[in-house]
Amino acid sequence: MFCFALKLKKVIPVITGVLIMFYSITANAAPIWNTDASGELTGSRTSPISEGIEATESWDNGGFVLSWNITENNDGSWTYQYTVDVGRKDVSHFILEISDSDTFNIYDGTDTGIEFPPREWAAGGSNPNMPNPIYGIKFDFGGPTAIYTIVTDRAPVYGAFYAKGGVDGDSHANVTAWNNALNYSDYKTNESFTITDFIVRPDSVAVPVPAAFFLLCTGLTGLICTRKIFS
């Protein structure tokens, strides 16, 4: 028993080293955009920027709230429901990013008002203030509380959105909102963002790299422990 405890004591630093390596790699690893978001199937973002959303005019400072609820269905599809609440200036349209793909399918969703198939949307008369283009689908309707629902075969990942309202009556400026990361042209590759700078949206992903790496680390750790303890 004493011998086992002594050998276990020698193994602990090895285990610690492997775990430290795992956390240091994942903490400074790939950009967040398009990575697995299955850990945040229910969530929300709001203005101002510190809460995840940049908004203009009456939508700023808490005037724009975006929440979502995502569920995996028995047939392997996913239901995405987004709710946008605004205090003033009803939402006129909402653009949800997806990754550029020719195989994006919508099995079910809001019956009217979806501009599909997906395409690239850029700043212009109908999308004022949009800081960078988005490839996605457009829900061409809104209101003070707008609900957008789709059923698709794509799993949840982190991405972007853009929304437009009316024109502010006092400043005559456009009322708009988007996730913080969209402010930067390199938001897909920038490693400095946190998940708060994105929303959860649909795409197709394989086993996430961090999870796969964790399995590798734990497997290696088990082998090391076995070799150390019983040799």
The per-residue pLDDT for range 133-162, each reduced to its tens digit, is 999 999 999 999 999 999 998 999 999 999
Cα–Cα distance for residue pair 63/175, rounded to 1 Å: 10
pLDDT digits (tens, 9 = 90+) for 61-85: 999 999 999 999 999 999 999 999 9
Least confident residue range of 21-35, 160-174, 211-225: 211-225
Cα–Cα distance for residue pair 132/91, rounded to 1 Å: 20
**Contact assessment for residue 188 and residue 33, using Cβ atoms and an 8 Å cutoff:** yes
Q: Shortest CA distance to 161 belongs to which of 90, 89, 39, 65?
A: 65
Q: Give the strand pairing for 64-72 and 42-46.
A: antiparallel
Task: Decide which of 14 and 194 is more confident.
Answer: 194
Amino acid at 208: P
Cα–Cα distance for residue pair 13/2, rounded to 1 Å: 18
Q: Provide the pLDDT for residue 214.
A: 44
The share of the chain scoring above pLDDT 90, in percent, equals 60
Return the top range by mean pLDDT from 17-21, 104-108, 172-176, 192-196: 192-196
Q: Provide the pLDDT for residue 221.
A: 47
Name every residue whose Cβ is closer than 8 Å to that of residue 17 and which is 6 or more positions away in sequence: none
Amino acid at 198: F
Task: Decide which of 114 and 94 is more confident.
Answer: 94
Element spanning 82, H or E:
strand 78-86
Least confident residue range of 134-138, 194-198, 216-220: 216-220
pLDDT digits (tens, 9 = 90+) for 1-11: 545 444 545 54
The C-alpha torsion from 104 through 108 and 113 to 116, rounded to 10°, is: 20
DSSP classification of residue 91: B
Q: Provide the pLDDT for residue 105.
A: 76
CA distances from 128 to 103, 115, 184, 219, 224 (A): 29, 18, 16, 51, 58
